[in-house]
Structure 1
Amino acid sequence: MALASGISIDMSPEPILAAIDDYGGSIFDLDHALLVGPELFAASRRALARRMRSVGLKPADRVIVAVGNGPLFLAAWAAVLAEGGSPLLVHVETPPAELKRIARRFLARFVVADALSESDFESVGARAKMLSLDLWSRLVWADFDEPADPRALARLDLPGVPLHPTSGTTGEPKVAVRPAATAVAEVNHYVASIGIDRDDKLLALAPMSHAYAHGWCVVAPMVTGASLVTMRRFNAKLVFRACKECGITILPAVASMLDTLVFGAGDRLHDPQRRVITGGAPLTARTAANFEKASGARARPLYGTTEAGAIAVVRHDDSAKPGGCVGRPFDGVEVQIRRADDIDSESDMREFGPGVGLVHVRSKSVMAGYLNNETIDASPLPDGWFNTGDLGWIDADGALHLRGRRAEVINVSGMKVLPSEVEEVIGRMPGVIEVKVYAGRTRQGLHYVKAAVVAEEGIDVGLIKSHCQEHLVYFKRPGRIILMDALPRSSRGKILREQLP
């Protein structure tokens, strides 16, 4: 396919479909003590694909996949791809009203979900029916066959191409187009720099809809033949059990999970040979030290983005310490630090430090571009280089150190929240005059969502919370809502972030 930039890229789903067909590993669902071997996985995903076809799925249809961790996630994802659909991955706990908004914005007609009922979808105007094949593959199929939101992207046929929602570098909702070739290239980075093969067993802790966990716990097992152990939601007791009984060799986690695991672990985590990878959010030196003391294993930070895939990781023999260092770039990944246009004053240099600039990356795992109008917009990839929007610097050993992000994206335990999206939802509530959403910080240094709201008389915090409960997935909901008479503004009308409570 020719992109808006004139560059051609392979959009074929065959590399992933071939890997899925050849998969010889097993998937063990900890929550239900269910072992799905290769024969059962193959039979179930093929039956599910036929069922999806019978309810209207056609090649190039976009399907929102809102399924929790487990064999069913992989079966649903694989079935959509096999029928030539484009899976658009969202969190399993996304409420029906938000699913409808996503469907309108990105022209996705169908939703497949396992945490919602037919009546849940019917309440927001969708037609829904149960797809039930056996005890472990029960899904609801919803059809939003209605006029699209005027702001939505124009329809573009991308049969068998996965789509990943992202904030981009501007904080605006986008969809990154990551065809099979880029996903396989990311796994090849893992294989070359960390090592993973069919003898490995991975534990899926983070949501498999999230780009980080999707690469590690969905695509990587399919490509390498490694086996997978899943839990629907992070649960420390289940992690201890899996590590003790299931022979986990690779543990891709988020830093905040490690903080939880060190309490009461005893010897249940102990395995100095286990490869523990953290991504999605920074790994502090304190967390790393506590986890290594409890487990005997060194947690290694990994850096990546939805658009670029894997970028850098701390290897087992690196001397780099956590606290901003994310290691050397993966084999086959190029990284450059380029001066940001707005980091030019002496005060900026004192704040960010010498040598700090915007992290740019180029590799075979970088996306094809953003979905835009009638083509794929590759303009953010001049000469194949992607500007991550993150600030960083490279030390004498070639290791990358991160210093934060220029955009307003809020990182809630590794899940990225767009303030503009939350503002849009609250702003649609009758009686709300204006709203500003921004990051709050706990005493432990963790981010959460805050909202300053100007509203008419009669609108209280409880009403706003109830509205958010209905329209936003849990991690996007404000942890604190402040009612104000007016938002602080400069003489030019710009909201003064530093004066918000």
Structure 2
Amino acid sequence: MRAVLPDVLTEALARHGDRVAVTDADGSLGYAELADRARAAADRIARHATDGERLRVGLYATNCVEYVVGYLATVYAGAVPFLADSAFGPFELSRIAEDCGLDLLIHAPSADVRDVVDESLTDDGEFGFLTVSRVRRYSTPRPRLLDDTEVCRFTSGSTGRPNCIEFSGAAVSAAAANWVKGTGLSADDRIACFAALSNGLAFNTSLLAAFLPGASLHLSHGLPTASRVVRLLESTAATRLVAFPALYESIVRRSPEEGFATVRTAISSGAPLRDTVREEFTRLTGVPIHNYYGVAETGPLTYAADGRGSGLGAPLPGVDLLAEEHGIRVRSESMGSRYLNAPGVFEQRLDDEGYYRTGDQGQLRDGALHLTGRTSRMVNVGGRKIDPIEIAEVLRTAHGVLDAVAFEAENQHGEPTLAAVVATEPGVTAQSLRTHCAATLPSFKVPGILRLVDRIPANSIGKPSIERLRRLLGEPHSN
């Protein structure tokens, strides 16, 4: 089957020539330069291919120009890129490598990949400061990719193994094209992106979507603080800001007086954005925040074009969305095909009409989607879905732990965070539990709030009382 993305990228990069394509703090590439760099790097990747098998290449790095080169190079080489969240720790990365049968890993030299790779491969600088390593072989057979799969991305699983979503090239291309059409993205736009390119918020709105009309993509290294946002906006004269709600909260707390003169659109997704934050951000900066609703498995779904209301906007082109009593169901042109490493799980969420059950509840009011809750147990923290049962199970394996319950709560800034109440024996500390969690979980799954108790409060039928657990978080304690 002929791949879709190489032709789409080739046409887009050729059409925009010397326009700026992508920048970071260390440099920039025009469209023609990006194409040349990606082709040279693709030749290096292709040398490791074997007959009859497409290479599986993991990308494990923070946002940078070299990440974009590596992604395009993998596509051009006829290989399949697996976009791993750089927040994943060694434990989850090794599970990905084994579950998905990775061949190569493109990563930062400082990344802890000792349990995953056999050797670093020599190159001539095609990948800049990033390193290309050969992934060690596992005894377990690797699952077969679908013939039309061209990109794989990850979402949190319920067993500690991130679910690997297979996307066809047609789905990836449709996600980008429909985003461009539905949001009015143009060649005049300069996108300041503070979400990881492995995440759907950035992947769908700021990668291929930027290149189709000839916009420029501006990336930032390091922790996205409010001051770093302002510096990037000013230095690039950005017209679009893409970020998670937590960053908008941080900007509002800083109360900036300048830096947003050129910004026309701010885009938020991944977690609920409080109306008070949205309104205060616009008051301070003059920039409306446009909410965007998407699901990892289905791609971008809605966009709030006016940026004024509290809803998540109307369905994007190529999206059929139903908000019903039992939850939101969607079909989209950008939908994933299945989970490579969890046979049958994705298919169980599809109904007989091919609609995907999102697990969200909501209503369509005047054509705009408003979320009202969740039908599943997953919690949303910083744009990442976390299974609280998985967290509780990890906590229960710690020495001295009698029981544990994890759930979503609010931190001191009113932002969603992961909390856990843990019944322990004497001598157990919150720090020891965090260290235990960090040994097997990525940093974003380690509870931000931990309360240690003698026993877990229960309701009248013996189940943990979430209401009483939440009250515990607000009481004084010595841990």
TM-score (norm 1): 0.81
The aligned runs of 1:202-241 (5 Å cut-off) are: 202-233=191-222, 234-241=224-231
Describe the shift of the 1:29–1:486 C-alpha distance in structure 2 as closer, same or farther (beyond 3 A): same
SS in 2 for 1:224: coil
The aligned runs of 1:352-363 (5 Å cut-off) are: 358-363=327-332
The aligned runs of 1:103-142 (5 Å cut-off) are: 103-114=97-108, 116-117=110-111, 120-122=112-114, 124=115, 126-129=117-120, 133-134=124-125, 136-142=128-134
Deviations 1:283-302 (A, max 9, x none): 22211221112222211111
CA distance in 2, matches of 1:303, 1:491: 37
The code of the aligned residue for 1:121 comes to: V
The match for 1:67 is 61
State the 1:213 CA deviation: 0.8
The match for 2:435 is 466
State the 1:454 CA deviation: 4.9
- The answer on whether the counterparts of 2:425 and 2:454 sit within 8 Å (CA) in structure 1 is no
State the 1:100 CA deviation: 0.9
The aligned runs of 1:313-332 (5 Å cut-off) are: 313-316=303-306, 321-322=309-310, 325-332=311-318
Is 1:182 the counterpart of 2:151? The answer is: no
Describe the shift of the 1:157–1:313 C-alpha distance in structure 2 as closer, same or farther (beyond 3 A): closer
Is 1:102 the counterpart of 2:93? The answer is: no
- The answer on whether the counterparts of 1:154 and 1:372 sit within 8 Å (CA) in structure 2 is yes
From 413, 418, 424, give the equivalent of 2:382: 413
CA distance in 2, matches of 1:419, 1:54: 43
SS in 1 for 2:273: coil
| Structure 2: unaligned runs, 5 residues or longer | 473-479
- The answer on whether the counterparts of 2:193 and 2:202 sit within 8 Å (CA) in structure 1 is yes
The aligned runs of 1:364-379 (5 Å cut-off) are: 364-371=333-340, 378-379=347-348
Question: Which moves more between the two structures, 87-96 or 205-214?
Answer: 87-96
CA distance in 2, matches of 1:196, 1:394: 25
RMSD (Å) for aligned C-alpha atoms: 3.3
- The answer on whether the counterparts of 2:80 and 2:149 sit within 8 Å (CA) in structure 1 is yes
The match for 1:292 is 282
Deviations 1:264-315 (A, max 9, x none): 52122134x6122111122222112211122222111111111121111111
The match for 2:28 is 35
The match for 1:391 is 361
Deviations 1:301-338 (A, max 9, x none): 1111111211111113x7x522xx11111233222122
Structure possessing the higher relative contact order (Cα contacts under 8 Å, 6 or more residues apart): 1
The match for 2:476 is none
| Structure 1: unaligned runs, 5 residues or longer | 2-9, 341-357
- The answer on whether the counterparts of 1:369 and 1:378 sit within 8 Å (CA) in structure 2 is yes
CA distance in 1, matches of 2:393, 2:50: 31
Describe the shift of the 1:153–1:130 C-alpha distance in structure 2 as closer, same or farther (beyond 3 A): closer
The match for 1:92 is 86
From 412, 419, 441, give the equivalent of 2:410: 441
- The answer on whether the counterparts of 1:53 and 1:83 sit within 8 Å (CA) in structure 2 is yes
The code of the aligned residue for 2:277 comes to: T
SS in 2 for 1:161: strand
The code of the aligned residue for 1:147 comes to: S
Question: Which moves more between the two structures, 22-31 or 34-43?
Answer: 22-31
Describe the shift of the 1:483–1:106 C-alpha distance in structure 2 as closer, same or farther (beyond 3 A): farther
- The answer on whether the counterparts of 1:197 and 1:225 sit within 8 Å (CA) in structure 2 is yes
Deviations 1:99-137 (A, max 9, x none): 1123234443543211635xx333x36313155543834
Is 1:268 the counterpart of 2:259? The answer is: yes
Is 1:147 the counterpart of 2:139? The answer is: yes
The aligned runs of 1:20-59 (5 Å cut-off) are: 22=14, 24=16, 25-32=19-26, 34-54=27-47, 59=53
- The answer on whether the counterparts of 1:256 and 1:413 sit within 8 Å (CA) in structure 2 is yes
Describe the shift of the 1:75–1:424 C-alpha distance in structure 2 as closer, same or farther (beyond 3 A): farther
- The answer on whether the counterparts of 1:62 and 1:87 sit within 8 Å (CA) in structure 2 is yes
Describe the shift of the 1:67–1:147 C-alpha distance in structure 2 as closer, same or farther (beyond 3 A): same
- The answer on whether the counterparts of 2:21 and 2:214 sit within 8 Å (CA) in structure 1 is no
CA distance in 2, matches of 1:171, 1:127: 24
From 477, 481, 486, give the equivalent of 2:446: 477
Question: Which moves more between the two structures, 214-223 or 12-21?
Answer: 12-21
- The answer on whether the counterparts of 1:255 and 1:279 sit within 8 Å (CA) in structure 2 is yes
- The answer on whether the counterparts of 2:328 and 2:359 sit within 8 Å (CA) in structure 1 is yes
- The answer on whether the counterparts of 1:28 and 1:228 sit within 8 Å (CA) in structure 2 is yes
State the 1:379 CA deviation: 4.8
CA distance in 1, matches of 2:297, 2:371: 17
CA distance in 1, matches of 2:117, 2:403: 30
State the 1:456 CA deviation: 6.4
Deviations 1:391-416 (A, max 9, x none): 11111x21111112222322222232
TM-score (norm 2): 0.84
- The answer on whether the counterparts of 1:173 and 1:418 sit within 8 Å (CA) in structure 2 is no
State the 1:218 CA deviation: 1.4
